[in-house]
Chain A
Amino acid sequence: MKHKTFFWFMIPSLLAMLLFIAMPIVSVLIQSVYAPHEQVIVEVENCGPFGCETSTAVDQDATRELREAEPLGRFVGNDIYTDRNHLATSQVGAAWSSSTGIGDFISKLLNLPFYGALLFTLTYTAVVTPMALLFGFVIALAVNTLPKLLKGPMIFFSLLPMIVTPLIGALILFWMIDARGVLGSFIQWIANDPDLSLKASTPLTWAMLMVYGIWSSAPFAFVVYYAGLQTVPDDTLESAMIDGATPFERIRYVVLPHLLPLTTFMALIKIMDNFRVFEPIVSFNAAAHAQSLSYFIFNDLGGETQLLSSSAATSVLTIIGVSILLSPVLVRTWRDYGKS
C-alpha cells in the first residue's frame, strides 16, 4: 500500500483513538494530580422538624471564587497516589519497620485497601485466564468432533454464558448460591453442614467469583479456538496419524502449536479483562470479601462523596498494572512478528 493511501485509510481510526482513548487518559492523569480546593467551612443554624441546631456547611460563595481562580483545583502532585487509600507509601514503611516478621508485614500490608484489592485482582487474573482458555479449548475440541447436525445447537448452547448480560448472569448465580437457594442448599447437603454459607466465607466467595469468571469467559475462548480448529491443515494431521501419533500427541504437537498465536491474542485480551474484574463483585454483593481496583473506582465515583481525584489515581494505577501484566506477552509478540 502506498503511504498516502495508508494514511487516509487509517486516519478515521487514529482520530477516534486520539479522541476517545488518548485524550481521556491525559485528562485522568491531570485530574489525579489535582484535588478539590480547601473547603471554606462556616457555622450555620439548621432548622427542621426536630428543632434547630448549630452545624457547619460549606461556604458556596467563597468556594466558587476559589474555583474560578483555579478551575483545576489545587495541585497536589503525587499526594493522592501515595495516600493511605492508594499506594500508602508511609503506611507500608511504618508496617515494615514495626513488623515482627514477614508474615506480620504481609498481614499489615493486606489490611491496606490497595494491596488487599491487588491480591484479589492478581489471584483472579492468574486463575481465571488460564482456566478459561483451557475450558474453551476443551469445549472447542469436543464440539469439533460432533456430527454436523449437532454442531449448531451445541455452539449456541456453549455461547450462552457470553450472551447473558454479565450482571444478570451473576445475579442469577447469586440467588442460586444463597443459603436457601438451589446450589447453596446442595452444597450444605454435600458438606453435611446446615450453617455453611458461601457468601459468609472469604475463600468460598473468592472461589465463587472465579468460577463465575471462568464460566462467563470460557465461551469467548471456545469461539476463537473453534474458528482456529477449522484452519488446522488436514494433511499435517494425516501424516501425524501415519507416523503413529496418538490423538493426544496430535493435539500436543500439531494442533497446539498451530493455535499458539490465537492463544497469545486471547491471553492478552483476557488478562486485560480480568485485571479489571468488576461486575461479579457488585452483583454478588462480595465487597466484604473481595475488592478490585475497578470496584474502588466505582465506589469513589458513585457515592455521594465523589472522590474524583482518588478515582483518577486508581485509574492510572490500573493502566500501569495492566501494562506490567501485559509486558511479557507484548514482548513475545514483538519478537515473533515485529521482525517480519
Chain B
Amino acid sequence: MYQFKKALLTSAFLLGGSVAAFAASCGVDSGRVNIVGNEFPAIQTVAANAAKCEGLDVKANLTADHQKINLAGMQGDPAEYTTAIIANSSIVALMNGDVIRPLDDLVAKHGQDIPKNQLITIDGKVMAVAFMANAQHLVYRKDILEELDIAVPTSYEEVLAAAEKIRASGKLQNPVGGAYKTGWNLAQEFVNMYLGAGGEFYKPGTAEVAVNNEKGVEALEMMKALSEYMNPDFLTHDSNLTSDEWEAGNVALMNMWGSRTGRLMDDEGAEPVVYENTTVGGPLTVGDSGKRATTLWWDGWTVAKNISDEDAEATFVAMKNGISPSILDDETMGQAVWMIDGYQPAPVNQGVFDTIAAGAAPYPMLPYHGLLHTAIGDNISDFLQGKESAEQALSDIEAAYTASATEKGFLK
C-alpha cells in the first residue's frame, strides 16, 4: 500500500509539472508556488526555470485553456494558483476580480534589479512584471513567393492578390492560414482588423459599444475574403492547429503570433522545404487608414492576493528566477522577444520588432473589453459562413455585449 501511495504521489507530482533539476536557492527557502499560464515555448521556459528554486514547492499548469481557469483558480482563499502568467488583455479580468496583489513591497525587497520598463503599473501600483513582447504579424513561405515572383505583402489586399496567384498556379489550394476558431481566436482577428481599418470600439469616454459602422463592415468583409483562401475547416482552427497546417506545408501566408514562429522555423515537425523557407514579415495593413491591423502584447506574471505573504514572497522570487538573464541560451533565445537583459534579437523575432516600430496599438486594457471580445467571438461565424449580412453580425455583437455589460453593471 505504501509503495502504491508513493507511486501515486510521484505521478501526481510529475503531472503537476514540477521540475527540480539544477536546484539553487533563490533567496527564500520555503513556500508554495503554483503557476497557471498559456502553453507556448517561452512560457514553458519561464515555468521550468521558476521551478529550479531550491526548497520551494513549484507546480505549473500550462494550458491553452488558461483563461478559462485562472480567475476561478485564484478566487478561493487560499488561492489554488499563486501566480498567473497573463497578457495585457487577461490581466484585466484578474484586476476586475480583485485577485492579484500590488507588488511594490516585494519589488522593493527582492526586485530592485528588475528594469523599470518591465514593471506594469496600474494607477501607480505595480501589478505585474512583464518578460516578453508579442504581436501577430505576417509569416510567409519565401520559396513559393519567389517562384511565383510575388513581392512580400505589406497589406491584406496584397495577401489576397498573392493568394489568388498561388491558388491559380496550382501549388496550394488554400494558401492562407489564420487562427479563426470561433471564440477567442476569431474575436482577436476581428480586433486586429477593426483597429487596422481605423475603428474605435466604444463611444468616447463611455462603455457603450460602437462597432456597427463602415469600419466594422470593412473588417468583416476582409476577413471573409481571406477565409475564401483558407482550409474550409477554418472555424475550428486555433493557433495550434494553424501552426500544424503550416508545418504540414499547406499554407504559404498567415498572420501569426511572434511567440510561435520559433516553432515553425525549427527542424521539428516539418519538411526542410517548409521550415527553411518560413520567413517572418511585418505587420499588415487593411484599407487606407494607415493603421496596422494588429495589436501589441506583453506577457508577464502576477501574484495572487488570496495567499499568505510567505507564499507570495516565494512566488515572487521563483518567478523572478524564471525570468532572470540566466535563462537565455541558444535554445531559448529565439523563443520570444524577451525583455530580459542579455537578449540578442534573432531573425525569427524580427516581425514583433517591426510591429513595435510601426507603432501598432497595444491591445485595449479596459475593464469591459473582455465582454466585447467574447461577444465578437460568438457572433461573426454566421457572417463568415454566409448566413447573415455584415451589418446583422455587427448588430448582434452590439446587442450581445450590451446585454452582458448591463448584467455585469458596466452599463445602466
Binding site for B on A (CB under 8 A): 35-39, 41-42, 44-50, 53, 55-58, 60, 63-64, 74, 76, 80, 83-85, 91, 111, 113, 178-179, 195, 197, 199-200, 202, 285, 287-288, 299, 302-307, 309-310
In the bound complex, do residue A55 and residue B232 qualify as a contact, i.e. CB atoms below 8 Å apart?
Answer: no
Which residues of chain A have C-beta atoms less than 8 A from B387's C-beta? 202
5 A-B pairs whose Cβ atoms sit less than 8 Å apart in the complex: A56-B367, A57-B122, A83-B407, A178-B233, A200-B385
B407 touches A58 (CB 8 A): no
Give the CA-CA distance A120 to B182 in the complex, in Å.
18
Return the CB mask of B376-388 against A: 1 if under 8 Å, else 0: 0010011001011
Q: With a CB–CB cut-off of 8 A, which chain A residues contact B365?
A: 46, 53, 55
B105 CB–A CB distance under 8 Å: no
Tell me the smallest distance from the CB of A67 to a CB of chain B, in Å: 10
Contact A46 B95 (CB under 8 A): no
Q: Could you say which of B121, B183, B408 has the most chain A C-beta atoms within 10 Å of its C-beta? A: B408
Do A303 and B409 touch across chains, with their CB atoms under 8 A apart? Answer: no
- B214 in contact (CB, < 8 A): no
Whether B399 pairs with A285 at a CB distance below 8 angstroms is no
A-B pairs, 10 with minimum CB distance: A304-B93, A288-B381, A44-B123, A197-B232, A285-B236, A200-B232, A288-B182, A38-B409, A302-B68, A84-B403
Query: At the interface, yes or no: B64 with Cβ under 8 Å from chain A?
Result: no
Contact pick for A199, options B90, B118, B235, CB 8 Å: B235
A305 touches B367 (CB 8 A): no
- Which chain B residues lie closer than 8 Å to A91 at the CB level? 399
User: A48 contacts B298, CB within 8 Å?
Assistant: yes
In the complex, residue of chain A having the shortest beta-carbon distance to the beta carbon of B298 = A49
Is there a chain A Cβ closer than 8 Å to B67's Cβ? yes
Q: Scoring B residues 336 to 365 as 1 if CB is less than 8 Å from chain A, else 0, what string do you get?
A: 000100000000000000001000001011
Q: Is the CB of A310 within 8 A of B407?
A: yes
Assembly CA distance A195 to B298 (angstroms):
39
Least CB distance, B192 to chain A, in whole angstroms: 16
Q: How far is the CA of A134 from the CA of B232 in the complex (A)?
A: 35
Q: How many residues of B contact A (CB 8 A)?
A: 66
Are B67 and A303 touching (Cβ within 8 A)?
yes
Whether A303 touches B68, Cβ cut-off 8 Å, given contacts A47-B121, A57-B367, is: yes
Write out, one digit per residue, whether chain B residues 399-412 have a CB within 8 A of any chain A CB (1) or not (0). Answer: 11011101111101
A329 CB, min distance to chain B CBs, angstroms: 34
Selected contact of A49 from candidates B93, B117, B382, B388, CB within 8 Å:
B117
Q: Is the CB of B88 within 8 A of A305?
A: no
Among residues of B, the one whose C-beta sits closest to the C-beta of A116 is B382
- Does the CB pair B207–A304 fall under 8 Å? no
Tell me which residues across on chain A come within 8 A of B378, comparing CB atoms: 113, 287, 299
Query: Is B95 in contact with A57, judged by CB distance below 8 angstroms?
Result: yes
How far is A44 from B367 in the complex, measured between Cα atoms in Å?
A: 11
Query: Which residues in B have their C-beta under 8 angstroms from that of A55?
Result: 364-366
B interface residues with partner A (beta carbon < 8 Å):
67-72, 88, 90, 92-93, 95-98, 117-124, 130, 133, 181-183, 207, 231-236, 296, 298, 339, 356, 362, 364-368, 370-371, 374, 378, 381-382, 385, 387-388, 392, 396, 399-400, 402-404, 406-410, 412
Q: For A41, give the chain B residue with the smallest CB separation.
A: B367
Given the known interface contacts A56-B366, A57-B123, the answer about A287 and B68 at a Cβ–Cβ threshold of 8 Å is no
* A63-B96 Cα distance, complex, nearest whole Å: 10
Whether the Cβ atoms of B367 and A46 lie closer than 8 Å is no
Least distance between B74 CB and chain A CB atoms (Å): 11
Determine if B123 and A305 form an interchain contact, defined as CB atoms under 8 angstroms apart: no
Given A111-B388, A288-B236; 5 other pairs, CB 8 A cutoff: A41-B207, A41-B367, A46-B365, A85-B403, A306-B72
Q: How far is the CA of A113 from the CA of B118 in the complex (A)?
A: 42
Q: Once the chains are docked, how many angstroms separate the CA of A74 from the CA of B231?
A: 47
A303 touches B370 (CB 8 A): yes
Tell me, rounded to whole Å, the shortest Cβ–Cβ distance linking B280 to chain A: 20
Q: List the A side residues contacting B388 at CB < 8 Å.
A: 111
B70 to chain A: which residues have CB within 8 Å? 304
Please pick, from B296, B368, B399, the residue contacting A84 in the complex, using a CB distance under 8 A. Answer: B399
Task: Name the one of B121, B236, B399 contacting A46, with C-beta atoms under 8 angstroms.
Answer: B121
Docked pose: A42 CA to B366 CA in angstroms: 11
Cross-chain contact of B406 among A83, A111, A202, A303 (Cβ < 8 A): A83
Distance between Cα atoms of A28 and B46 in the complex (Å) = 40
State whether A288 touches B68 (Cβ < 8 A).
Answer: no
Taking a contact as CB atoms closer than 8 A, the residue among A49, A178, A199, A287 that contacts B183 in the complex is A287
Is A305 in contact with B120, judged by CB distance below 8 angstroms?
no
Report the minimal beta-carbon distance from A306 to chain B, rounded to whole angstroms: 6
The answer to whether B88 and A48 have CB atoms under 8 Å apart is yes
Contact at B231–A179, with CB atoms within 8 Å?
Answer: yes
Report yes or no: A80 in contact with B296, Cβ–Cβ below 8 A. no
Q: In the complex, which residue of chain B has the Cβ closest to the Cβ of A45? A: B123
**Which chain B positions have C-beta within 8 A of A307?**
404, 407-408
Docked CA distance A303–B67 (Å): 7
Q: Give the one of B232, B235, B365, B403 with max A CB within 10 A.
A: B403
Contact with B396, one of A64, A111, A178 (Cβ below 8 angstroms): A111
B181 touches A285 (CB 8 A): yes
Are B233 and A38 touching (Cβ within 8 A)?
no
Q: In the complex, what residue of chain A is closest to B132 when comparing beta carbons?
A: A49
Residue ID in chain B nearest A64 by CB atoms: B98
Which chain A residue shows the least CB distance to B296? A50
| CB nearest neighbor in A for B362 | A50
Residues on A with beta carbons closer than 8 Å to the beta carbon of B236 = 199, 285, 288
Closest Cβ of chain A: how far from B164's Cβ, in Å?
A: 17
B117 touches A46 (CB 8 A): no
Q: How far is the CB of A207 from chain B (nearest CB, A)?
A: 16
Query: Smallest CB–CB gap between A214 and chain B, Å?
Result: 22
A38 to B122, CA, bound (A): 21
Closest B residue, CB atoms, query A60 = B98
Q: Is the CB of B408 within 8 A of A35?
A: yes
